[in-house]
Amino acid sequence: MDTTTLASPLTLPCGAVLANRIAKAAMSEQLSDRANSPTVRIDRLYERWAAGGSGLVITGNVMIDRRHVGEPRQVVVEDERDLPALRRWAAAGRANGTTLWVQVNHPGRQAMRIAGSRPVAPSAIAPRIPGAVTPQALTGAQIEEIVGRFARTAAVFREAGFDGVQLHGAHGYLISQFLSPLANRRDDEWGGDAARRQRFVLEVVRATRAAVGPDFPVGIKLNSADFQRGGFSEEESGDVVAALAAAGVDLIEISGGTYESPAMMGDATGTASSAAAASAAVPARASTRAREAYFLDYAVRVRDRAPDVPLMVTGGFRSAAAMREAVASGACNVIGLGRPLALHPDASAALLDGSRARIDAGSRSIGVRKLDSVIDLWWHTRQLHRIGRGREPWAGERALHTLATFLLVNGWGAARRKRGG
């Protein structure tokens, strides 16, 4: 154990400094207007989190192409048309000196059909999700165009006053699809073996870095594995971590799973929905932090692949003791909190000063396995919507009411798949 605490600042490779070791992880807000532009409700939400004590706040995933979005009312930034609204969002989220990053994403084959064009992907392979359609395989020219879109979107956010970007390379979205041997069956320079499957993410990192400059943080969210037979493995993930470190990323957030095998999701009890798969791949430790944190053991194993790049672990942390132990031991450098901060947006400060020993996320279910994870996630999204309206989170909302509002807003088709940040 060293003397690092949750309150210790962290200097990133680019020179930027995080005030402490707690980060608000990405959660999808669904708070855009019908044109996918930011609204004042998203400003209110992030103003609240900016006052909550987290050293880093990461937004929900912002899409780079209005033709391809992951869900309704998702913010899309392709160019500078919404620059005034983005500046307002940045000012709200950076209040009190909070560091605000935006998560940048393309859904690939996980795009909503109602969003416009047919989904695209590395290969014409549909995800194993009920209701999914076969995507169009991207051409080389289209891939290059998407790489440029990631970079342009990041540059717009720097101009708007955000403090950094996080590329979403996990959970079965487009970057993750290129890395997966199940989703990427190409035999050209963008696929065919593990090294070529890395090319897309490395090109996105390089283009993004070129667009924002050397002093602007560029992080990434990466799967430890996708927990599917024949899929993206821990060994491949470790190789990608090493390549990303060499490419100059500033923070790697460890997650896992896809919407076909959602290790990153929480079930109605607050445990990992793919905990069985995770524990089969990772022998459980006896310590508190290992019982709580879904991907911490992987972070320990991959640490020496990127010794100079901080690691962030999100998923499962609930007690201050487990968070302190994880950071002090060097297992990870930053603790990511998601749904607990939807219900308790001010809890980071209390965890830091010791006045709060634990933070719970709450949960809702109706006892129907295929619906419970959707209900639980939408219940937390509803808390974000309440904050955006200037109200307090409400732990008393019943599961059936949550389900009814979900179907009203998203329709039955959306209940067929899980979603998140």
pLDDT digits (tens, 9 = 90+) for 63-81: 999 999 988 899 999 999 9
Distances (CA, A) of 145 to 82, 104, 255, 303: 21, 15, 27, 33
**What single DSSP character describes residue 420?**
-
Tell me the CA end-to-end span of the chain in Å, nearest whole number. 32
pLDDT digits (tens, 9 = 90+) for 22-33: 999 999 999 999
Query: Regarding predicted confidence, which is higher, 142 or 362?
Result: 142
Domains of the chain: 10-364 (3.20.20.70)
Distance CA 409, CA 200 (A): 34
Q: Is 385 helix (H, G, I), strand (E, B) or coil?
A: helix
pLDDT digits (tens, 9 = 90+) for 281-328: 333 344 555 567 778 999 999 999 999 999 999 988 999 999 999 999
Q: How would you class 196 by CB atoms within 10 Å of its CB: exposed for 0-12, middle for 13-18, buried for 19 or more?
A: middle
DSSP string of 63-84, one letter each residue: ES-TTS-SSTT--B-SSSTTHH
Tokens of 138: 């991207």
Of 389, 370, 253, the closest CA to residue 312 belongs to 253
- Give yes or no for a contact between 222 and 237, defined as CB atoms under 8 angstroms apart: yes
Percentage of the residues of the chain whose pLDDT score is greater than 70: 84
pLDDT digits (tens, 9 = 90+) for 127-141: 877 667 899 999 999
Distance CA 200, CA 283 (A): 32
H or E element at residue 211: helix 199-212
| Residue spans of alpha helices (H) in 288-368 | 288-292, 296-302, 320-328, 340-343, 347-353
Q: What is the pLDDT of residue 418?
A: 44
Of 368, 223, 389, 399, the closest CA to residue 295 belongs to 223
Q: Which residues pair with 223 in a beta bridge?
A: 255
Q: What is the pLDDT of residue 290?
A: 53
pLDDT digits (tens, 9 = 90+) for 113-124: 655 568 999 999
- Chain centre to alpha carbon of residue 91: 22
pLDDT digits (tens, 9 = 90+) for 194-203: 999 999 999 9
**What single DSSP character describes residue 274?**
T
Distance CA 253, CA 239 (A): 15
- Give yes or no for a contact between 58 and 166, defined as CB atoms under 8 angstroms apart: yes
Q: What is the mean pLDDT of the chain?
A: 87
Of 35, 50, 173, the closest CA to residue 103 belongs to 173
Report strand pairing: 136-137 vs 251-255.
unpaired
- For the chain, the C-alpha Rg in angstroms (whole number) is 19
**pTM of structure:** 0.89
Distances (CA, A) of 411 to 70, 315, 383: 14, 28, 20
Task: Give me the residue label for tokens 């283009």.
Answer: 207
pLDDT digits (tens, 9 = 90+) for 245-274: 999 999 999 986 545 444 444 432 233 333
Q: Is 246 helix (H, G, I), strand (E, B) or coil?
A: helix
195 torsion bin: left (phi>0), alpha (psi -120 to 50), beta (else): alpha
pLDDT digits (tens, 9 = 90+) for 381-396: 999 999 999 999 998 8
Q: What is the pLDDT of residue 227?
A: 61
Q: Is 338 helix (H, G, I), strand (E, B) or coil?
A: coil
Per-residue confidence band for 233, with pLDDT thresholds at 50, 70 and 90: confident
